[in-house]
Structure 1
Amino acid sequence: MTSPPAPSPTPPPWPHCAEGTTTTDLVGCRGIYVTGHTRCLAHLGPADRTAYLASLTPGADVNHCGTTLDGPLLTELLYALRDPTTTHPRLGNADFRDATFTANAWFQDARFIADADFRDAAFAADAHFQDATFAADAYFQDATFAADANFPGTAFTSDAYFQSATFTAGAYFRGATFTADANFDDATFTARANFRGATFTADANFLGATFTASAWFQGVTFAADANFLGARFTASAWFQRVTFAADADFHDATFTAGAYFRDSTFTANAYFQDATFTTYAGFRGVVVGGNARFDGGRFNSLAVLGPLWCQGVLDLSEAVFGMPVVIEAAVGELRCGRTRWEATATLRLWHGDLDMSGAVLNFPLAVVSAAAGTDPVRVLSVNGVDAAHLVLTDTDLTVCRLLGAFHLDQLRLEGDTRFARTPAGIDPLRGMPVRWTDRLALAEEHHWRALPAHRPRLRAGWTPAPPLSSGSPPTVPGPAALAALYRQLRKAFEDGKDEPGAADFYMGEMEMRRLDRRPGRPRAERGLLTAYWALSGYGLRASRALTWLLLAMTVTVLAMMLWGLPTSDPEPRTNGTLAGQNIALTTDTPDPVLTGPPHTRLTGKRAEKATRVVLNSVVFRSSGQNLTTRGAYIEMASRFLEPVLLGLAALAIRGRVKR
């Protein structure tokens, strides 16, 4: 038991007893007059007290503001209000403002059928409200509980106010039922606060409450909003198996010791913005029906976020993780915008979207799709991320915005990583039907090709960029920036021994270089890249190179038959000159001669001969045939062009085999 608090020098607003006035205490007893008397209940004469108590009936109003009630006096008062049917006290309007209970206050099983006002009351010993029922408002603002406060099984059927109350010893609300609002704003729990199994049918308000010892909320049901905004938990906070049927607000809360939310259910939204978890933070088995917001939160020690299920957005934006963390979650969307990871981290996600814009990675961070084969994690953006510390396993990058990331060439792509693909099919291009072969592509290429300026010239199927959340049009990178992205990611594919991916991203890089029409770009370079694309698909399309090779050889064979091969091989001639007895002989070979109309030159024999000439030209060998002057130039051209096409075809075939 502790001593009552020192009296206040300010007189109360009600007519008071003033018993015990001294030169140092001009107020004296602060107890309100008993009706019909000029003394409070504590200083009433024995006969008058007996008469007053005898006049009370169950359900009567009692007003003992400022009165000091010791154990026997409180017992007599409650006995006078006892209901003979239930044998429990039944009170009407009960006004105990500023009252002092010097001994144990036994209100167990009491029934308050009207307002119960304990504002500024002082409980010097234990306060027992087990199984009490508050049918109307209950006011405990600024009350002081110097010993245990016991409310297990208590039913608050109207508003309960505990604002700024101080619980110096244990506060026990185990199994209590709050049918209307329960207000513990700015309350201080110096010892254990036990709310196990309590039911809050209306709003439960703990705004700014301070729990300096353990706070036990296991199995509690919050049927309406639970407000712990700014609450301070300096010891362990136990919220296992709690049901939050409406919004739960822990905005700016501080958990200095362990925070345990295991197996709790948040039917609506869970707000932990700017919350601080100094030591362990456990959210294993948590289910959130709405959004779970931890943006701005700080996790200074071990955190176990999951396995948890969040149907809406799990927001970790601007949160700080000071120690290693494993997040296992099935979410609608996980936002990690400007999240700071100061230790290693693993994100194991069953499904959902992931936005990592601006995340700060000081140590390796792995993103793993736990359900890679069926519903992989879709990464929306890594803009502003240092990809040197990022590992993506079995993720979906079909809509991922990569522009603005750093060290993409060091990005690690593991498992089955999905990218967008270019639209395939046959579409007319400048009046000619062209078959397009699909390949891996970046989402940014889709966005650029889908711009209105490109639509008349390009095939359908490109995906436009989604609008920004602000409604403003998105920024779409040009070919130069896209070429740089493809170049860096090609290096990442090569480091991962992914030859098919590297080949597709090489083609993407070359395509962007070919389509780059910025001022100052050499037209000759673009022309060379266009020829490289048309002849062999940048050395990656074997069928295209072989088609051009066969076409070139066919044209060369026809040219040889028409203009390169003579009508017949020339025969050597010997011309002699007789001068006396001396004879001089000169032997020459006449130039090959082509005669006859063109249709007579297209014969099988000439075709076979022309084919031998062309095949020899393909492998840089001289045919050894007599050719016309035109034929010699045709052979020289074929000996330059066709081996190049053969080499491109061989390069493409090699790349295809490696893939």
Structure 2
Amino acid sequence: MAKCKVERCHHPVSELSLDGCCIFHTEAGKIKGYEKGKPVFIKPDERDEKSKGIVQEFVSQFSRLLEQRKNDKGILVCDEFIFPALIKQEWDEIWRPVKSGYIINLDFSVSFIGANFGGVAYFIGAKFGGEASFSEANFGGVAYFIRANFGGVANFSEANFGGKAYFIGAKFGGEADFIGANFGGEADFRWANFGGEAYFSWANFGGEANFSNTIVNLRGIFRNAKFHKEADFTNAIVKLLDFTRCEIFSFMRMRETNRMSDEQKEEIENRIKELASPEDKFSESEKSILEWALKLVEENVPPIILLRDLRFWENGHLILEDFDVSLTSFWQTNFHIIRPRIDLIRVDWKDKVIIDDIFKRPKESENFTEENKLIYGPIESLNKRKQAEEIERCYRQIRLAYEARGEYPDAGDFYLLEMDARKIKLNDVFLLCLHYLYAWVSNYGESISRAFGWLIGVFLVSTILFAFAGFSHQKETFRLLPQFDISNILGTLKILLASSVAIINAITLGRMEIYAPENIWGSVIFYSARIFGLIILTLLLLAIRRRFRR
């Protein structure tokens, strides 16, 4: 019997096909034409007698393939198969040889590389014992992988989901590869558990992306991904999420990351008890993932989230809410294009130091040895000045985000860190001295009381010293003697009052001739009071101006 003309296909040519292909690769009775290069499948209610015959033979032959693989445990190769638009009853008939109750037991490796699913793809409750490859597969309708269990590598790289993709409660025991995948509709990964690495780099999310309550045991990599609609990571339990160079077209929300409600904890604890004696590798994998997630929450470990070099489109916006963002990176991201693009709502900061600040890096960061290269590589590749410039910019972005929400105490804290980072890049000694003076006198303009205290201090010290040095005013000489005469209190007060007026005159740039010093020490004190008093007064006015600008 003639073999299918498709390369590497060993199935015989179907008598119902007219294109020299087997029942799995033929387009006859499945596709009615093409629009813009994409196949248009025959819907179940559009089938003629020939199409019905093709579908019946397809279901029968595929079911027979499953029966063979069930017995010999070999790999099920379905590369470039063309699945007609099937209804649920037909999918049930396909899975009949490997179905037990609600579970589809695929205890062998499967390969659907380049497969074309014309309608609904029904894999609810499927258990993949080996590697499952759907690379470059095309899902024309809804793809159901609800509660699917992948024991090995799950490869969906460059897969195209034309409709909604449901991976609710799916469990990935090994690596999950969605690199370059295209989600035309909603991508729903709620309650999914990723035991290995989860790769979504260059993925395109055309619809809503829902990763709420998802557990990512190792790393979730979303580099260069595009989120066209809302992306939700509420209550996700993660070790590391990398969103470097992502494009955000709508809202992305991260809320209560690495946190659980009491009900969630109780539910997970009960599930762990159910899995106390794992029956198979699937149960054992799920148990270890849940135990890890529970431990992470109980130890209050903050997630590592890399929000680096993000691109915000017109309606792009990021919300971080109700979790510890101490290990969140803002490296090279501009959150203030035209308007603020980030909201920081009730977030926690440990010491209010970002993970990017290698000059004030928390000691805990040393524990993340596996991620060191990923986290700190881009930072440590720069020279010290460039590092300081970028860290300063990151703190400025956070400060502006708080100022936009009117949360000025938090904004002030990050303004201080911004100024500390600016100090590191200063090479000029004079500018560095002014910077330190600005910090000492007014806490970088954040403390009016400190600046006022310094001004009063300079005024009082200068007044007393100038009175001891002596000065003349309107042909009258004023000088405090080294020993005070208690009986002449009024005279002492008169001298101090005159001296205070002289110092005020000095600070306000008055003429020295009005209060002429008697000696060189008086001149030194007068001009010192003028210089330092004027500087401190200026810094005080700047602090007042900064306060009122808010």
- Is the pair's TM-score, using the shorter chain for normalization, greater than 0.5? yes
- The SS at the match of 1:513 is helix
**CA spacing shift, 1:287–1:607, aligned 2, 3 Å:** farther
**How many residues align structurally?**
440
Encode CA deviations 1:147-203: one digit per residue, 9 max, x unaligned.
xxxxxxxxxxxxxxxxxx9973532749968243245424666674534364499xx
What corresponds to 1:168 in structure 2?
57
- The SS at the match of 1:331 is strand
> Which runs of 5 or more structure 2 residues have no equivalent in the other structure?
3-9, 27-53, 261-296
CA distance in 1, matches of 2:230, 2:527: 64
Alpha-carbon distance, 1:483 to partner: 3.2
Letter of the 1:416 partner, please give it.
Answer: R
Alpha-carbon distance, 1:505 to partner: 2.8
Alpha-carbon distance, 1:540 to partner: 2.0
What corresponds to 1:401 in structure 2?
329
Letter of the 2:162 partner, please give it.
Answer: T
Alpha-carbon distance, 1:317 to partner: 0.8
What corresponds to 1:487 in structure 2?
396
Letter of the 1:475 partner, please give it.
Answer: S
Which of 347, 354, 357 aligns to 1:417? It is 347
What corresponds to 1:21 in structure 2?
none
Q: Is contact 1:613–1:635 with CA below 8 Å preserved after alignment? A: no
- The SS at the match of 2:198 is strand
CA distance in 2, matches of 1:488, 1:471: 19
Letter of the 1:357 partner, please give it.
Answer: T
Alpha-carbon distance, 1:559 to partner: 0.9
- The SS at the match of 2:477 is coil
Alpha-carbon distance, 1:336 to partner: 1.2
Letter of the 1:252 partner, please give it.
Answer: E
**CA spacing shift, 1:635–1:200, aligned 2, 3 Å:** same
Q: Is contact 1:218–1:238 with CA below 8 Å preserved after alignment? A: no
CA distance in 2, matches of 1:364, 1:504: 27
Letter of the 1:443 partner, please give it.
Answer: I
What corresponds to 2:232 in structure 1?
346
What corresponds to 2:182 in structure 1?
298
Letter of the 1:360 partner, please give it.
Answer: E
Q: Is contact 1:145–1:166 with CA below 8 Å preserved after alignment? A: no
**CA spacing shift, 1:646–1:601, aligned 2, 3 Å:** farther
- The SS at the match of 1:490 is helix
CA distance in 1, matches of 2:227, 2:540: 49
Whether 2:139 is the aligned partner of 1:255: answer yes
Q: How many percent identity over aligned positions? A: 18
Alpha-carbon distance, 1:370 to partner: 5.2
**CA spacing shift, 1:640–1:610, aligned 2, 3 Å:** farther
CA distance in 2, matches of 1:228, 1:492: 47
Alpha-carbon distance, 1:396 to partner: 4.1
What corresponds to 2:309 in structure 1?
384
What corresponds to 2:355 in structure 1?
443
Alpha-carbon distance, 1:387 to partner: 4.5
Encode CA deviations 1:226-251: one digit per residue, 9 max, x unaligned.
43333322221111122234443322
Which of 423, 426, 436 aligns to 1:530? It is 436
**CA spacing shift, 1:509–1:267, aligned 2, 3 Å:** same
Which of 477, 480, 483 aligns to 1:592? It is 477
Letter of the 1:348 partner, please give it.
Answer: T
**CA spacing shift, 1:478–1:143, aligned 2, 3 Å:** closer
CA distance in 1, matches of 2:407, 2:480: 59
Taking structure 1 as the reference length, the TM-score comes to 0.55
Structure 2 counterparts to residues 364-375 of structure 1, below 5 A: 364-369=251-256
What corresponds to 1:453 in structure 2?
none
What corresponds to 1:196 in structure 2?
95
CA distance in 2, matches of 1:618, 1:490: 37
- The SS at the match of 1:240 is coil
- The SS at the match of 1:443 is coil
Whether 2:187 is the aligned partner of 1:289: answer no
**CA spacing shift, 1:242–1:592, aligned 2, 3 Å:** same
Whether 2:435 is the aligned partner of 1:508: answer no
Letter of the 2:358 partner, please give it.
Answer: H
**CA spacing shift, 1:378–1:601, aligned 2, 3 Å:** farther
What corresponds to 2:245 in structure 1?
358
Q: Which has the higher helix share?
A: 2
Whether 2:231 is the aligned partner of 1:320: answer no
The structure with the largest alpha-carbon Rg is: 1
CA distance in 2, matches of 1:144, 1:378: 46
Encode CA deviations 1:304-323: one digit per residue, 9 max, x unaligned.
22232223333211111223
Structure 2 counterparts to residues 102-251 of structure 1, below 5 A: 168-171=57-60, 173=63, 178-186=70-78, 192=90, 194-196=93-95, 198-199=97-98, 219-251=103-135
CA distance in 2, matches of 1:471, 1:483: 16
Letter of the 1:178 partner, please give it.
Answer: K
Whether 2:403 is the aligned partner of 1:478: answer no
Q: Is contact 1:120–1:144 with CA below 8 Å preserved after alignment? A: no
Letter of the 1:592 partner, please give it.
Answer: T
Letter of the 2:344 partner, please give it.
Answer: E
Letter of the 1:356 partner, please give it.
Answer: F
Alpha-carbon distance, 1:492 to partner: 2.3
- The SS at the match of 1:592 is strand
What corresponds to 2:29 in structure 1?
none
Q: Is contact 1:561–1:601 with CA below 8 Å preserved after alignment? A: no
> Which runs of 5 or more structure 1 residues have no equivalent in the other structure?
1-6, 9-117, 125-140, 147-164, 202-216, 422-439, 451-459, 571-588
Which of 330, 337, 358 aligns to 2:215? It is 330
- The SS at the match of 1:168 is helix
Q: What RMSD, in angstroms, separates the aligned Cα atoms of the two structures?
A: 4.8
CA distance in 1, matches of 2:341, 2:184: 27
Q: Is contact 1:366–1:392 with CA below 8 Å preserved after alignment? A: yes
- Mean Cα deviation higher: 599-608 or 247-256: 599-608
- The SS at the match of 1:337 is coil
Q: Is contact 2:192–2:215 with CA below 8 Å preserved after alignment? A: yes
- Mean Cα deviation higher: 278-287 or 224-233: 224-233
Alpha-carbon distance, 1:637 to partner: 5.4
CA distance in 2, matches of 1:200, 1:638: 91
- The SS at the match of 1:468 is helix
CA distance in 2, matches of 1:198, 1:377: 46
CA distance in 1, matches of 2:375, 2:538: 52
**CA spacing shift, 1:501–1:198, aligned 2, 3 Å:** farther
Alpha-carbon distance, 1:632 to partner: 8.2
